[in-house]
Amino acid sequence: MNFILHIIDTVQDFTQFKRQEPRRPLSEVHDPLPDKLRASVNERLQSDLIVCVVIAVLYFAIHVSTVFIALQPFLSYVLYGLLGAVGLLTHYLLPQVRKQLPWYCFSHPLFKTKEYYQFEVRDAAHVMWFEKLHVWLLFVEKNLSGSARELASPKRLDTEVGALMITVAGLKLLRSCYSSPTYQYITILFTVLFFTFDYKHMSETLLLDLFLMSILFSKMWELFYKLHFVYTYIAPWQITWGSAFHAFAQPFAVPHSAMLAIFITSYVRPVKFWERDYNTKRWITPTLDSRINWTEIQHSLCGDLLLGRWGNFSTGDCFILASDYLNALVHLIEIGNGLVTFQLRGLEFRGTYCQQREVEAITEGVEEDEGCCCCEPGHLPHFLSFNAAFGQRWLAWEVLVTKYVLEGYSITDNSAASMLQVFDLRRILTTYYVKGIIYYVVESPKLEEWLANETMRDGLRGCTERNYVDLDPTFNPNIDEDYDHRLAGISRDSFCGVYLGWIQYCNSRRTKPLDSEKDSALVLLCFGLCVLGRRALGTAAHHMSSNLESFLFGLHALFKGDFRISSIRDEWIFADMELLRKVVVPGIRMSLKLHQDHFTSPDEYEEPAVLYEAISLISRTW
């Protein structure tokens, strides 16, 4: 089994999921996977329709020609030689020069990726020229050389039987090229040499010979890996000698343990032995970071395999992805033409003993070893020492890549209790909440329609009075920046004294600015919405905003979209519920984002231009 050991997570913005409407109930949340699968299948069917027509026309033209008859047997040898050369380059030379320790002699890859020397990768992995070459070589091996090899088979059987055998054997070999492409070229070369020079009289066309030898070789490779695993761990230098008795008893135990291990591990098992059942369904991990990291593996696994970033692979292989925070085992179940099914197993989080020991074994600096038997003469530049090279050959796993880039997400536990414990921090959150509401109402394309709505104007008519003050007990002088201490509430004058400049700046960024004076309809609408939003927060917090737990409970309710309009003065909002969905709900979510960013640059959002650009950027990436 091949193992890939080490992963560097790049933290990027979460922009791949479909943008959803605010306040969508959890039961209506749309799962993006079925749509993505449906789109992938549609694109694949369209591509296959074109490719199948081209291949059918091409091979029918070859079939009616006499090129395969006139050029026999030399054409067959040329095609087999070409297939062997392409396979040798694709599955041996390129993977070796890209491995972390090529041939267990060099101390670093000979073909390095662009991200090899980068400490922290922030963009997707750059596609190198040798990765493109690997894809083209796979295409040539599977689609051109393999098909030509089958067509070039001499006619030893009747037409009906020959057609049937070519179909069965050809499909078997074609499937093997996709499910286990690594050693196909070895099987082909051995078959040609074996039935051409040794047992030519037993040959029943090279196609049928290859069909039988592929079955035999698959069993031989499986036996070879089992023996390799057993002999690796029963080697005397792999054993920890605890006393003189171990040194005396071990030689007598080795023959028996080897035979017993071979007998136990050589039983026949199905390919899907690792699966719990044969109808594996999609499941969601309980933690959000594990879920979205699993989703990114799902998005990039097949492409990375085709690019050769995971080295040689076949059905049933297991790869370990290891980072400083998470280890995961990826088991390849089935491999097809552009399709890979896998299972993510054995998640081990930071702090567990297994994760710690695995990371230590993987990151061990073998290139720093200078030993040769019992002395330390050093090693040649860019090469491993004798002891390091010998030790790497006696491992049941290998390090394929140490700088594998996978798009991931870093989720940090940021306690809201510590961030909102102090009244000043809650005041900052409330201020961003109000500014977020103002931004979304001014930027809305329905703003002019809302300003002309008679129901809303009637509901806000009481706020037009010069001495109007909202005395709702939910307003708190410690939290609301525009609280009027003389009037014990929030008045229109106190609101304009704090937020009028922000309203006018947002209005100036509109394509067609509206009237934004103190007595304008725009300012009145912003005042009514901001009072409504804060009253909804107080209602969800049971009018106990001064209590931290109640405040967090209300904040969480509004973040989920659970707005409850309990005051008769706010019933004008029912004239158009888009005000809640498109203005108030995004406002509370934006306030949380801005409140977190406030700690990194507390004075930056004091400028209206900077705050406006920040809100615009965050809104576009949601």
Residue 499 lies in a domain: yes
Q: Residue 343 — φ and ψ, nearest 5°?
A: -130, 135
pLDDT at 120 (0 to 100) = 77
pLDDT at 358 (0 to 100) = 72
23-35 pLDDT tens trace: 444 344 566 767 8
pLDDT at 93 (0 to 100) = 92
Q: Is the model's pLDDT at 316 over the cut of 70?
A: yes
Of 258, 276, 292, the residue that ends a domain is: 258
Residue type, 219: K
Distance between CA atoms of 129 and 246, rounded to whole angstroms? Answer: 53
Q: Closest Cα to residue 577, out of 446, 480, 472?
A: 446
Residue 604 lies in a domain: yes
Lookup: tokens for 567 = 């005051």
Using pLDDT thresholds of 50, 70 and 90, give the confidence band for residue 426: confident
| Mean pLDDT computed over 433-453 | 88
Q: Which residues pair with 349 in a beta bridge?
A: 326
Task: Tell me whether residue 268 is exposed, middle or buried, using C-beta atoms within 10 angstroms of its C-beta: 0 to 12, 13 to 18, 19 or more.
Answer: exposed
Mean pLDDT across the chain: 76
Q: Which helix (H) or strand (E) element contains residue 246?
A: helix 244-265
State yes or no: cis peptide before 181, omega within 30 of 0.
no
Distance between CA atoms of 541 and 218, rounded to whole angstroms? Answer: 67
Contact 492, 462 (CB under 8 A): no
Using pLDDT thresholds of 50, 70 and 90, give the confidence band for residue 264: low
Please give the model's pTM, rounded to 2 decimal places.
Answer: 0.61
- DSSP string over 31-97: PHHHHHHHHHHHHHHHHHHHHHHHHHHHHHHHHHSSHHHHTTTHHHHHHHHHHHHHHHIIIIIHHHH
Task: Tell me whether residue 357 is exposed, middle or buried, using C-beta atoms within 10 angstroms of its C-beta: 0 to 12, 13 to 18, 19 or more.
Answer: exposed
Using pLDDT thresholds of 50, 70 and 90, give the confidence band for residue 21: very low
∠ at Cα 576 (572, 580), nearest 5°?
A: 90
Lookup: tokens for 409 = 């997400």
CA 61: distance to chain centroid? 44
Greatest mean pLDDT among 140-144, 178-182, 409-413, 538-542: 178-182
Contact 614, 597 (CB under 8 A): yes
Residue 371 lies in a domain: no
pLDDT at 275 (0 to 100) = 45
Lookup: tokens for 79 = 């095609």
Greatest mean pLDDT among 5-14, 170-179, 269-278: 170-179
Lowest mean pLDDT among 6-10, 298-302, 479-483, 579-583: 6-10
Of 236, 258, 280, the residue that ends a domain is: 258
Of 224, 258, 292, the residue that ends a domain is: 258
Domain count, the chain: 2
Greatest mean pLDDT among 59-63, 250-254, 293-297, 381-385: 381-385
Residue 326 lies in a domain: no
Pairing of strands 405-408, 8-11: parallel
- Residue 176 sits in which domain range? 58-258
Residue 294 lies in a domain: no
Residue 583 lies in a domain: yes
351-389 pLDDT tens trace: 666 667 777 777 777 777 777 877 878 778 888 888 888
Residue 5 lies in a domain: no
Between 273 and 578, the more confident residue is 578
Residue 512 lies in a domain: yes
Q: Closest Cα to residue 309, out of 401, 398, 399?
A: 401
Q: Which helix (H) or strand (E) element contains residue 534?
A: helix 521-540
- DSSP string over 274-339: GSSSSS------SSHHHHHHHHHHHHHHHHHHHTTTT-S--TT-EEEEE-SSEEEEEEEEEE-SS-
* Exposure letters 426-441 (e unless 16+ CB within 10 A, then b): bbbbbbbbbbbbbbbb
- C-alpha distances (whole Å) from 446 to each of 413, 460, 560, 582 are 38, 18, 24, 10
